[in-house]
């Protein structure tokens, strides 16, 4: 047994396995979506209020900082969706072995980043 275990856990020095990274990113993406939901609902309300507020909102959505924020939210949505499906499948005791867990983590990251890049090209 390895006796050289860390006394304190420095999260910036620990090298997480890929399934652990996907799990933490799932939590972060869920938090981002939760925090962005009131703002997105407010934007929806403004877009439906009148044609003037809609055109103002379209102008605001053309700003680069807003586009980058939307791309981050698209990543959060896609990652949370695919990682959630992965966790539901794991809850059914499918793919619980280490090789399957690593492979499904790679698929989640590949799909979320790949589709985010496609959405980013479309948004920009």
80 labeled part of a ligand binding site: yes
Q: How far apart are alpha carbons 71 and 118 in whole angstroms?
A: 10
Phi/psi at 13 (5° precision):
-105, -15
Listed residue (61, 15, 62, 17) closest to 40, CA to CA: 61
Instruction: Say whether 78 sits in a helix, a strand or coil.
Output: helix
Measured torsion, CA atoms of residues 25, 34, 116, 94, in degrees rounded to the nearest 10: 50
Binding site per annotation, positions for heme: 80
Binding site per annotation, positions: 80
């Amino acid at each position: 047994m390895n006796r050289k275990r860390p006394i304190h856990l420095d999260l910036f020095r620990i090298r997480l396995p890929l399934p652990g990274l996907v799990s933490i990113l799932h939590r972060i993406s869920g938090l981002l979506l939760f925090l962005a939901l009131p703002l997105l609902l407010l934007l929806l309300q403004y877009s439906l209020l009148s044609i003037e507020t809609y055109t103002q909102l379209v102008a605001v959505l053309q700003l680069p900082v807003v586009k980058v924020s939307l791309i981050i939210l698209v990543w959060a949505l896609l990652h949370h969706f695919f990682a959630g499906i992965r966790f539901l499948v794991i809850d059914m005791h499918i793919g619980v072995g280490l090789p399957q867990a690593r492979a499904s983590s790679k698929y989640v990251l590949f799909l979320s980043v790949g589709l985010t890049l496609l959405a980013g090209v479309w948004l920009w």
